[in-house]
Structure 1
Amino acid sequence: MTVLKGANLGLMFLLELGVLAAAASWGFTLDANPIVRIIAGIGAPAVFIAVWALFAAGGGKNARYPLTGPWRGLLEIAWFGGAAVLIGLAFAAPAGIVFFALWAINGALRLLWHQT
């Protein structure tokens, strides 16, 4: 069981990286002039990073304003849901749905196993 719990935390880390990749991909693939694409490609991940750092970093232990309980759940839904939407916009809707489903399964297992 320890291996599965470790794999679930590893998946959480990969999903967090996926959020940043989704934000950058969306920004760099916008149908706009190159300057706007560069700003969006760098700025969108920066916004996601700032939100995570302020409210959720390190399972809330390293966050400036740590959220817990239902507030943490709402943050994760918005953060990973936002990434799923951006994946859908940058690539295809099914890819965004798969991303969000992976997060939902990961989140359910983290709750079940009391992981942060």
Structure 2
Amino acid sequence: MLTMTKGAAAALMFFLELGVLIALARWGFTREANIVVRILLGLGTPAAFATLWGLFMAGGKAPYQLHGIARGAFEVVWFGAGAAALAASGLVTAGVVFAVVYVVDAALRLLTNQV
């Protein structure tokens, strides 16, 4: 049972990570600006966030791997940005659901010693 819970929490974490990038792209593409700015925001914001994830969080392969409080703070900002991007692009309920799912997943990972 514990192995299944750990696997489910890890899978959910992966999909939440992708969700942040999708939410940021949606936010960028839905701004009220000219098409060039929307394209830059829609592609550039997720690219910048993905770079940060690769530098600091990428499962044991990150060159500047974060641990402890720094890792927790990074996660909160990362997933909070995803929830905020959904809300700012007009999907407020989706943003709230996203935040709640992240909190549940974080709690599961804490309970199964996956952090």
Whether the TM-score (by the shorter chain) exceeds 0.5 is: yes
Task: Show structure 1 runs of 4+ deviating over 6 A.
Answer: none
User: Structure 2 length as normaliser, TM-score?
Assistant: 0.95
Q: Which residue of 2 aligns with 1:18?
A: 19
Structure 1 SS opposite 2:31: coil
Aligned length: 114
2:61 aligns to what?
Answer: 62
* SS of residue paired to 2:9: helix
Note the residue ranges of structure 2 that are not aligned, 5 or more in a row.
none
Instruction: Tell me whether 1:32 sits opposite 2:33 in the alignment.
Output: yes
Check if 1:111 corresponds to 2:89: no
Deviations along 1:1-28, one digit per CA (max 9) or x if unpaired, are: 1222211111000000001100111111
Cα distance between partner residues in 2 of 1:93 and 1:84 = 8
Superposition CA RMSD, Å: 0.9
CA distance in 1, matches of 2:49, 2:114: 22
1:44: which partner in 2? Answer: 45
Q: Percent identity?
A: 49
Pick which of 3-12 and 34-43 moved more. Answer: 3-12
Q: Of the two structures, which has the highest relative contact order with CA contacts closer than 8 Å and spacing of 6 or more? A: 2
Cα distance in 2, alignment partners of residues 101 and 37 from structure 1:
28
SS at match of 2:62: coil
- Which is worse superposed, 88-97 or 104-113? 88-97
Q: Deviations over 1:20-45 (max 9, x none)?
A: 10011111111111000000001000
TM-score with structure 1 setting the length = 0.94
For residue 113 of structure 1, report the CA deviation from its aligned partner. 0.1
Distance 2:57 2:74 in 1: 8
Q: CA deviation at 1:64?
A: 1.3
